[in-house]
Amino acid sequence: MREERKLAIEVRDVCINYRILNNVSVRKTFFKKKVSEEVFEAVKHVSFEIEEGGILGIIGQNGSGKSTLLRAIAGVFTPNAGEINLHNHTVSLLALGVGFKVDLSGRDNIILSGMLLGFSEKEILEKMDEIIEFAEIGDFIDRPVRTYSSGMHSKLAFSITAMLETDIMLVDEVLSVGDERFRKKSFEKMKELINDKKRTVIIVSHNISTLKALCDDVLWIHAGQMKEMGEPETVLQHYMDFMKL
C-alpha cells in the first residue's frame, strides 16, 4: 500500500506587494494634497509545496523576493493574495534583524524568542545553558543585543533556533555569517537537525555548495517570480549560467 504524502508547507498563488510613497513636501502634506504612491510587486503568483521532512533551498539575485517570501511563510506578515498553509506545524525563522529586542540582553531575548516560538518558560530555561554554550558570545549574553556585532547576533539567533527545535525551520542567509569555525559548526548542526525525517527546512542562500549539500530541491526566484524548481544540481547550474550572461 502506497504511503500517504504528508505536506508540511503549501504555498498557493502567493502575491506580496509593497506600497512605496513618493517624496512629498511638508507644504503638500500640510494642505492635504493627495500623496502619490506606487506598488512594488515583491512576490508574484508563487506556488509550491514541501512534504514533511523535505529540505528546500531558495536562490536568486538580491531583491528577487526570497526573504520576503520566507517572512510570509513565517507569519511575519500576510500575503496580499494567495494562501500559505503550514498544516498546524510549529515554525521558526532564523534571519538577521528579526525577532530580537535590541535593548534587552541576550539572555532575556532567548526567553522572549522561545516564548514566541510557543515554548514554555520552563522548557526554555532547561535549554538555556545549551543555547549559551553553543552561541559562544561569552559575557555579552548579559549585555543588550544592540551592543552585538552582526556575527554575534547570528550566533545567538542560530543557537536559539537550533536548540529550541520546531517542526519547520526557515533559514535566511545566516549560515554564511560569523567566523569560519562557527560557520562550519553551524553547518554540521544544521545537517544533524535535518536528519530528523519529520523536520522541514527552507534555506535561503547564495552559497551554491551549501544548497547542493543540504537540499532535496531548489527553487530559483527571479524578479519575484518562480523561474525554476527541481533537483539542486540542475537548477543551480541553470542559475549560474544565467548569472554569467
pLDDT, tens digit, for every residue of 39-60? 889 999 999 999 999 999 999 9
Domain locations along the chain:
7-89+167-244, 100-163
Mean pLDDT to the nearest integer, 196-205: 89
Distance CA 182, CA 231 (A): 28
Q: Are 228 and 69 in contact (CB under 8 A)?
A: no
Looking at the structure, give the CATH architecture of the domain made up of residues 7-89+167-244. 3-Layer(aba) Sandwich (3.40)
Q: Which amino acid is at 197?
A: K
Where is pLDDT greater, at 96 or 171?
A: 171
What would the pLDDT profile of 185-196 be if each residue is shown by its tens digit?
888 888 888 777
